[in-house]
Each structure stands twice: as structure tokens, then as C-alpha cells.
Amino acid sequence: MYSSTVMDHFRSPRNVGDLPDADGVGNAGNPISGNTIALYLRIADGTVTDAKFRTFGCAASIAASSMVTEWLIGRTTEQAAAIENKTIADALGGLPPTKMHCSAMAADGVRTAIEDYRNRQDANPKDEYEAGKRQSY
């Protein structure tokens, strides 16, 4: 049912945990009746330097969360914000059709975390690179 990559990330998830001083936090999923992800990002010079997650969910959700943290580290905020769930599913060697929503949840987590980061920057710019770029818009 699951690819060997999914099983590998499920058995040994990467980057489980949280970042107390995260620059952006993304929560996605359905906390009342379904799977949820909390994604924590550290960002410097417009680039994700660290990512951690906590996920309540099925094997595919945990694998997608783990995979997305690996994918994120080293990406720019623009790249991260443009993530599609297919990117995650492909990186996992594919997901069964009934489990595609798990990769969508991870992608939602990324977009929400980047949005949170940008809101924080707008309110209190600490990252001059990002702030400078925004002013040029």
C-alpha cells in the first residue's frame, strides 16, 4: 500500500519536535475530527534553516510531515510558499489516492508557517533581507 520511502519516514521520522524560538509556526489539519500538523520553522536571510514538526495522524501523514521538513531546509521562503502537495507525494514515491489529503495537510502547514513568518516580519521586521525585499514591492 505504501512506498518504501513512506515506510522509512514513518518508521524513522526526521525532525520530530518543536522550535521554542521559531520564526514561523504553521498549524493545519482538522483538530476536532482528523489529522493535524504543527510545523516550526527557523528562517534566516529568507531561507529555511531548520524545521521541526508534531503530527497526529496516519502513517502517510507522519511520513509527509517528516519529508516536508527535509524538503524545506535550505529552501527560500518563496519556494516554500509555492509548495504543492504533489511535490511532497512525489518525494515520498507516491501516495495512495485515499491518502493524498495527508500530503495536502503538510503543504497547508508549510503555507501557514510562511504566512505566520511574514506576518511577524510585517509587525516586527528583524530579517532585513526579507523586509528590504518587501519594501521594494
DSSP code of residue 99: G
Of 68-127, which residues contact other proteins (CB under 8 A)?
A: 98, 101
Spatial contact of 73 and 45, defined as CB atoms under 8 Å apart:
no
Q: Which residues partner with 29 through β-bridges?
A: 36
- Under rule CB under 8 A, residue 38 binds other proteins: yes
Spatial contact of 65 and 81, defined as CB atoms under 8 Å apart:
no
C-alpha cell at 62: 507522519
- Under rule CB under 8 A, residue 133 binds other proteins: no
Least spacing, CB of residue 130 vs other proteins, in Å: 29
Least spacing, CB of residue 84 vs other proteins, in Å: 21
Spatial contact of 26 and 111, defined as CB atoms under 8 Å apart:
yes
Q: Name which position in 4, 20, 33, 124 contacts other proteins (CB under 8 A).
A: 33
Binding site for other proteins (CB under 8 A): 2, 7, 10-11, 13, 16, 18, 31-35, 38, 54-59, 61-62, 98, 101
